[in-house]
Structures are given as structure tokens and as C-alpha cells.
């Protein structure tokens, strides 16, 4: 049986090779070499390149979402929590894509081969934002619904990705968004609900 450490190395190598060579240019052989495993070991875990790509995509989102969960549990006021949550998810994903040579190609491949994985991750992130609001026992200011706030937190980070945006600029925008979102809530001791 392949150890979790071996799987981790394969997924990391897959990201490196796909990022460098693109999906079409990457081979299972080059991924196995980059991971320091034999091809039979690689094929014992992943049936083909598409399977590996989907698993790699799942791993990237699972890692980001795990970090989001930790950020929610770390405590602090709602502005601090939202800032950490946005940076753990959107900031980490942006940094990852920013550092890949073939990022645009991989995003397109991701939509084609792992669109369901991406959509499931978005749904989980929405649930995590809901949990963050509930965990801080906040109430929304009049005229703002929980759904509106979560929609803003889900969509706005995508608009921040202008060509040439550095990781530092992107993260500064995320922190600004967290502060704006925190302004829409107040710690009243009531549960957040659609009003």
C-alpha cells in the first residue's frame, strides 16, 4: 500500500509538472520522476493523468478549506476571522496560481476535468463562511442579509484578480473586503439569519 507521504509527494509533483508543462505536455512518467516514485507505484494510486489531475485539484482545495476551518477556530473578532478565512482560501489559491508557469491553461483544464470538484469546494467555502458568522454570534445590520454578505465574500475576491496584481496587492484587497464585511455585522449576541 502506498503511504500518505508518497501520495503527498505525487500530488505535489503533479502540481509542479502540470504547472511547468501544462496538462497536455505533462506525462505520468515525468510526474513519477519528479515525485521520486516508480511508474507502477504511480499507476497503483492513479489510473491515468486525468485521475491524478482531479486528485491534485481536490487536494489543493481540501488543504485550503482545512486551513479555513482552523482560521475560524482560532478566535478573534469577526474582522480578524474573515480576514484569515479569505487569506487562507482565496489568498492561498491566488499565490498558488500566480506561481505556475501555465496557470491560465491549468485553470481551463480544471474547469473541463474537475469542474465538479471546484463547485463542491465553493459550496464548502460558502458553508465555512456561514460557520464563521455563526461562530462569532453576530447579527447583521438592518438591510443586509446573511446570503448577501456571503455572496459578496464569495464573488468579490474573483474581481480582485486584475492582470499584474501581486500577491501582496491581492491580500491587501482581501483584508479590505474583510473589514467592509465586518462593518455589516455587529456583536449583538443574536444568531445571524436572513432578515
pLDDT digit string (tens) for 55-70? Answer: 999 999 999 999 999 9
Q: What are phi and psi of 128, to 5 degrees?
A: -65, -40
- Quick one: pLDDT band at residue 194, thresholds 50, 70, 90? very low
- Quick one: pLDDT band at residue 3, thresholds 50, 70, 90? low
pLDDT digit string (tens) for 110-126? Answer: 999 999 999 999 999 99
- Quick one: pLDDT band at residue 5, thresholds 50, 70, 90? very high
pLDDT value of position 193: 40
CB burial class (10 A; 0-12, 13-18, 19+) of residue 31?
Answer: buried
**Helical spans, DSSP H, in 74-192:** 78-86, 92-98, 103-135, 146-159, 167-183
Amino acid at each position: 500500500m502506498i503511504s500518505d507521504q508518497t501520495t503527498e509527494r505525487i500530488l505535489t509533483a503533479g502540481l509542479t509538472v502540470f504547472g511547468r508543462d501544462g496538462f497536455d505536455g505533462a506525462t505520468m512518467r515525468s510526474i513519477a520522476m519528479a515525485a521520486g516514485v516508480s511508474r507502477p507505484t504511480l499507476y497503483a494510486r492513479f489510473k491515468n493523468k486525468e485521475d491524478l489531475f482531479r486528485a491534485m485539484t481536490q487536494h489543493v482545495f481540501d488543504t485550503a478549506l482545512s486551513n479555513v476551518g482552523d482560521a475560524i477556530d482560532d478566535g478573534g473578532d469577526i474582522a480578524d476571522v474573515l480576514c484569515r478565512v479569505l487569506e487562507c482560501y482565496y489568498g492561498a489559491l491566488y499565490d498558488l496560481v500566480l506561481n505556475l508557469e501555465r496557470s491560465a491553461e491549468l485553470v481551463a483544464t480544471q474547469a473541463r476535468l474537475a469542474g465538479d470538484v471546484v463547485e463542491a469546494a465553493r459550496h464548502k467555502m460558502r458553508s465555512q463562511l456561514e460557520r464563521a458568522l455563526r461562530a462569532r454570534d453576530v447579527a447583521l445590520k438592518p438591510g443586509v442579509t446573511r446570503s448577501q454578505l456571503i455572496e459578496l465574500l464569495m464573488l468579490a475576491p474573483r474581481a480582485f484578480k486584475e492582470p499584474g496584481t501581486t500577491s501582496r496587492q491581492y491580500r491587501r484587497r482581501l483584508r479590505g473586503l474583510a473589514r467592509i464585511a465586518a462593518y455589516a455585522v455587529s456583536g449583538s449576541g443574536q444568531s445571524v439569519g436572513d432578515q
